[in-house]
Structure 1
Amino acid sequence: MKKSTTHELLARRFQVMGQHSPVFYEQPLHLVRGEGVWLYDKQGRRYLDVYNNVPHVGHCHPHVVETLNKQASQLNIHSRYLNDNVVEYLERLTASFDDSLSMAMLTCTGSEANELALRMARHATNAQGVIVTDFAYHGNTESVAEIGTGFMPEAKRTKRVKAFAIPDSYRGLAGVKHEELAQAYAAQVRTAVDEFEDAGIKVAAILVCPDFANEGLLNVPAGFLEEAVAVVRKAGGLFIADEVQAGFGRTGKHMWAHQAYGVTPDIVTLGKPMGNGHPLAGVVARPDLVENFSKQAMYFNTFAGTPVSSAVGMAVLDVLANENLQQNAISIGDYVIKGLKRLQSKFELIGDVRGLGMFFALELVLDRKTKLPAIHQAKRLINIMREKGVLISTIGVTDSILKLRPPMPFNETHANLLLETLDASFEQLIEEGH
């Protein structure tokens, strides 16, 4: 294996992956090892990981690694053969959902899961139209890119996708009172349905992340999602909940973020944390949807639903339960939110503090009255944090919202380091004249 400096490795990367393959930070990290909530670079420096939700139960968790190695040394085949692991895993997984969501289909990535969900919804409804937010991201296959209103060029060209404004109770809608926001946003969903009908297109589904993470981890106006889903269902469409970011207990109070609402999805998509870094994802749905789709359109995925993947998935569920990580998301989540609000009272740049279990967002603004996004300050701040050894990122329409989403074993000691580093980084930002 060639050994390179960080600069040399970046140059080699550009040669084989292209100039526009994304990397974090102005000085990209050259990482070589991970353990728990920590990442280590080539020089041996460790960084507190407050960003990655893929290593859900911690980087290289011993139980997950041991389980993977043990099963990989015994058998790994595709799902056309019978294997106890696959069935047991899906039984355990679906048991955490509403009784109506009792069947599952496995994939390798969240993109594949959302692609499969769209195929299933369109097959069941004999319709094509899909409704999403106006800053959505749900993966990178062609049909999923088509609903990627936040980033994807395909979304600008399609006629079978309509978008509604992100349901943001912090910024709201011009001229709309706070208590009327839910109905106002739901009215936009109704308009999307009407526009589809005018174009001769039937509605297949509304697809959203229940935590609206990519949009900024929004505090959704109460009643909005229930009303929006009712509008879509009345038009014959389904509700698809994308739990790729919010699932597996991250919200603390619920295993799945959609369980906080008064409406149950028809289809749920899973990914990222499902395999703790192993490529494991899937769809959980009503049995009639799975059976009817599978009867007409055989679904098979060579690398999905293998004994190894299923064993890894079960190991993740084991750790979540044995280490009480869902409760940890509640207690540490509350602790972090209190600390972030103390910082908000100290720094005018912090316009809003939002949290959902072990997931936090700080919306930075130049003025709390006008709520003008502090775009450059947010970008500078994540780089200062990186220099100080804590890794975070940004989200939102203008990339002015700090995204804090650590692995689930994050504890009070880690939280204190995060809060202290944020405090020092905001101070440095001010000293630099930002």
Structure 2
Amino acid sequence: MEPLFEFQGWIKKAYRQGPIFGRYLKRLEESAQFSAEKLKRLQNRQLQKMVHHCYRNIPYYQDLFRQLKLTPAHIKTIDDLEKLPFMEKKIVNENYDKLIARRRKNILCRLGSTSGSTGTPAKFFRDYGSINFENAVVWRHWRNAGDFGKKRITLRGDSIVPASQNEPPFWKYNRANQELLMSGYHLSLANSASYIEEILRFQPEILYCYPSTAYLLAKFFQQQKVPYRFDAIFTSSESLEPHVRAYIEDVFESRIYDWYGQAERVVAICQCKAGGYHIQDDYSVVELKDSAYGQELVGTHLNNFVMPLLRYRTYDYVSPRTEACPCGSAFRLVDRILGRNYSYILTPEGYRISITNHIPRGVENLLETQFYQEKPGELIVNVLTNGHFSETDRALLVRNTLEHTSPQMNVIVNEVQGIPRGPNGKFISIINKLEVMN
């Protein structure tokens, strides 16, 4: 065990499960039992508090309210939010400093970032309370599925070991959470035996993963005819297609509990034991706006007071359900979440990279980034820029791509005038002509 890694694990746990975490979790377990009417009263109460805060402390909203000739008295309920315009990532980037409450910014705040589905980087401050609240909502999701802190493996997009490492171990143990963090990057046919051997040694009860990594892991277990059963599997960050779900659940004899969220943390949707996808109506205010592609999720913060977002467009879509869920929850139901389909970048070593959000981070002057592959060992990075994209920016993008894919990859940066959308209007971050997951 690396002492620094273990120390960081304990510090992270102490921070995310601070003194207010328990109070949030207790409160959330109570509000999960509320009626629809009681939930709406709760939302309206918290919304009024947030609007007053924005009016008094956030320069961007002070200017906006002045321009619209509004005061907090004009926004008392969820329905009144229609008086405000939508917020989106471009507005955040252009008004970043004006969206921060200076009195709330302190050493306990943390900076989150994402490139989102468009490959456009953005930064978001989160205060200590909102981080503990987010963690409490996730814990409620886990506990509803029977996970009260069981041993788990986490197989996502985190950089666990260097990409250049060719020999196991491709994992590290986080003692603070009884969690084996495994590198999703190194999960390949060549390394599959070592992954399976370590999982059998560790005997995890929970799998926390992307759908794509869980699917690949299940493929390897089935190919090697090794039986294994998890108590529960938690997926997030990608669309969970029905055939992928069925395959994973069949191989691991386990139920998947899916989760939808974003770095902006304006909407949370999670799956209950009865299989329903529930908007977590005590997490934020979520508006469902009609569009040609389904109903768009538009979210409003109720808990992040350092950088609150009101009416933030996610550009993700759902198809709603009107019937009640057998689980009895009053949280609204959606049938499915649209637009988070995934593909792979294939590296020369045979590794599959499905999450690319971190690659454009830190690169200036990018508007959109798309990864296109049609030749083995070659990756074309299509970039839409603001016209000021420099050779320094290009070099950093190439370096980031090599670091998070493969040092052996031939990376070609191609400036374009526009990047076409997919058939549902959503941006496609990875196009792979070499292989399609089946």
Establish whether TM, by shorter chain, passes 0.5.
no
User: TM-score if structure 1 supplies the norm length?
Assistant: 0.34
User: TM-score if structure 2 supplies the norm length?
Assistant: 0.34
| Richer in strand (by share) | 2
| Richer in helix (by share) | 1
